[in-house]
Chain A
């Protein structure tokens, strides 16, 4: 059974950099698109971006200047980095496995979610 296990800091200060990792187990790491999605408290889902097994990335236009998604293939992990964070970045962050095709919101496996709070 495919499992995604998230790790990362929970409380950050404004202007700091958010870093989260997602470890994948129980299935192939290659051949899929790996995605980060977030959800502010009480609000809807927001797609942040995706990365394929070759390292090719697509980011949300609204966050493109601040977000980086990267792979650690030998460790079956991928990571999210969001710079210059503000209170508006407070959210539950989810990692998810997409399909083998780009640009398709087909997410069958999700991480447990990581609550990140940005506060001074």
Chain B
């Protein structure tokens, strides 16, 4: 059902900067805030970014979010091995009247 499109995978080396995209439409990202979650293996998701670009409590400033039109991005700078996880974007969809999650992006730190 997801209409928030993310790349299935992303990778980078330590200290590198990577970005993960999230593409939606005018009924979701175009009108509503975007949220980003990090999920480590076997654990519940953790809120990283809310309202497009606000870092959740305790999240390092290496993580940043942005939004433009119907797309959003999560950037991770100074990549570290512990950043290896699945990342999901989320937004409310006015047409579906539902919260949508992106399909998820698996980040590998090489």
Contacts and interface: CB of A to CB of B under 8 A. Distances in A.
A58 B45 contact: no
B110 interface: no
Interface stretch (A13-21, A70-78, A81-89, A100-108): A100-108
Given A105-B90, A105-B91, A94 B44 contact: yes
Given A44-B101, A44-B102, A108 B88 contact: no
Interface residues of A, number: 23
- Contact residues of A: prevailing secondary structure: loop
Interface bin, chain B = 20 to 34
Contacts of A106: 35, 47, 50
B72 to A, nearest CB: 13
A62 B88 contact: no
A112 to B, nearest CB: 7
A47 B47 contact: no
B97 A45 contact: no
Interface of B: 1-2, 32-33, 35, 37, 44-47, 50, 56-57, 88, 90-92, 96-104
Given A47-B99, A96-B44, 6 more contacts: A44-B88, A44-B102, A60-B98, A61-B97, A108-B56, A113-B44
